[in-house]
Structure 1
Amino acid sequence: MHKLLIFNNDKLLRCALTHRSYVHENPTQGEHNERLEFLGDALLNFLSGEYLYRRYPEKGEDELTRRRSALVDEKQLAKFAIEVGLDLRMRLGKGAILDGGFQNPNLLSSTFEAVVGAYYLDNNSDIEAIRKVVEPLFDAVPENIVEIRASVDSKNRFQEWVQKNITPTPPKYVTEQVGGYSHAPEFVAKVFVGEKVYGVGRGRSKKDAEKAAAEDALAKVKETSKNLL
């Protein structure tokens, strides 16, 4: 068993593995994992940033940002989840299981984030405990995969354009659930630069919706640039 799954508090691990769809069908079985997911996401962003800062002392901010995004994007976190054995341990509702939930990258990545958050709490909020279990996962990511993903990340490309052409302040994303089911929600995201909406996108996860919004913004910026020529 991977160290990330060895807990002192089994209830905390169970919560981290529990998706909203399971609680919807089994309302007496405790909380779902979304609060832990929030915490794990913040921890992974910090730890991946610190890891890359140490690993690439010669890289600038833009390159480090792209690499961090590639290292903790949905696809990569889903691979981490499978690597540590979360895929068949997730507690999903019947509908989510029928929809292929055990192979769903969004559910896998979200569960991985939740388990990271829970592991942090289970170790008395010790950041070193988390670092010891996630850095070997970061180390195992092939260099070329990081570079390929970094080069195509739409959110980072739009942020670079904004900071180069408009303002040093990063664009802001406002995302909300607009429909779907508990196991297959649908989100819409708007990306703002100041008070102006630059793009709108939809997706089955917040990350997908924000990525789609960034892609929409980039397409509009490109079209506007053509019209100005």
Structure 2
Amino acid sequence: MKFDHVFRDPALYELALTHRSIGRPNNERLEFLGDALLDLVVAEMLFEAHPNASEGELTRLRSELVNGKRLAGLARKLELGDKLRLGPGELKSGGYRRDSILADAFEALIAAVYLDAGFDACRHVVKRQFEALVQDMPRSHKDAKTRLQEWLQARGLSLPSYALLAAHGEDHARTFEVACSLDEPQATRFEAQGRSRRAAEQSAAEQALAWLERGETS
């Protein structure tokens, strides 16, 4: 995989690949900035690629693309492990192969591009690295209630409960108000409306799932 940027300031490139085991300065501050830049550009890519996706689904897709395992894979394709500057302890323990160190270096490298050449150059690099992943990322065909249940079950949490709060209007044009309640990870309730009880429940479940996913990625 090609990295489409030639640094005007080589010191930024070196800093991005300098692990904290070396001492200071190192790439920790660049990691922080790179993480935010990746979230922004990948969110933009998904927003454009999936115009009908809900907020919760876009959040889920982004979390599947911007995570330690995925970033470490991209770092390996760029052979960043061979270029890392590590302290003696990390070298001896094989830190250049560790997912967390590789992912951090990839984030730092994205931030270094931004500082070296600005946001447009950064966006270009991120898009080149993620374009195939975004195109190949399948959208889930499962409904929001199913995805919410699976999310909670995967983490050993209690399942949600749904309650009809009210129904308004004539039989041919009724509006249903429902609540989706979670006991874990904290007691929370999400309310939504729909032209059917099922539609309202799906909307409330989507809200709950988006809230949970935001909490997990923040």
**In the TM superposition, what is the alpha-carbon distance from 1:130 to its structure 2 partner?**
1.1
Structure 1 residues 164 and 12, CA gap change in structure 2 (3 angstroms): farther
1:56-95 to 2 correspondences below 5 Å: 56-95=50-89
1:106-145 to 2 correspondences below 5 Å: 106-123=100-117, 126-141=118-133
Deviates more, 1:99-108 or 1:3-12: 3-12
CA distance in 1, matches of 2:53, 2:213: 25
1:71 aligned partner, one-letter code: L
Contact 2:46 2:134 in 1 (8 A): no
SS at match of 1:79: helix
Could you list the per-position Cα deviations for residues 19-48 of structure 1 after superposition, in whole angstroms to 9, with x for gaps in the alignment? 11012xxxxxx5011000000000001111
- For this pair of structures, how many residues does the alignment match? 162
Structure 1 unmatched runs, 5+:
24-29, 174-190, 192-209, 212-229
Structure 1 residues 52 and 142, CA gap change in structure 2 (3 angstroms): closer
Contact 1:86 1:108 in 2 (8 A): yes
SS at match of 2:133: coil
2:128 aligned partner, one-letter code: P
Deviates more, 1:34-43 or 1:54-63: 54-63
SS at match of 1:3: coil
TM-score normalised to structure 1 length: 0.61
Aligned partner (choices 40, 44, 49) of residue 38 of structure 2: 44
TM-score normalised to structure 2 length: 0.63
Which residue is 2:25 aligned to? 31
Percent identical pairs in the alignment equals 37
Structure 1 residues 64 and 31, CA gap change in structure 2 (3 angstroms): same
**In the TM superposition, what is the alpha-carbon distance from 1:172 to its structure 2 partner?**
11
CA distance in 2, matches of 1:83, 1:147: 25
Structure 2 unmatched runs, 5+:
141-146, 161-178, 182-187, 191-209
SS at match of 2:8: coil
**In the TM superposition, what is the alpha-carbon distance from 1:3 to its structure 2 partner?**
3.4
Contact 2:56 2:213 in 1 (8 A): no
Which residue is 2:169 aligned to? none
**In the TM superposition, what is the alpha-carbon distance from 1:100 to its structure 2 partner?**
1.6
Structure 1 residues 144 and 9, CA gap change in structure 2 (3 angstroms): closer
CA distance in 2, matches of 1:43, 1:143: 20
CA distance in 1, matches of 2:135, 2:99: 21
SS at match of 2:82: coil
Contact 1:44 1:72 in 2 (8 A): yes
Structure 1 residues 57 and 20, CA gap change in structure 2 (3 angstroms): same
Structure 1 residues 96 and 120, CA gap change in structure 2 (3 angstroms): same
SS at match of 2:107: helix
**In the TM superposition, what is the alpha-carbon distance from 1:6 to its structure 2 partner?**
2.3
1:69 aligned partner, one-letter code: S
1:88 aligned partner, one-letter code: D
CA distance in 2, matches of 1:9, 1:58: 41
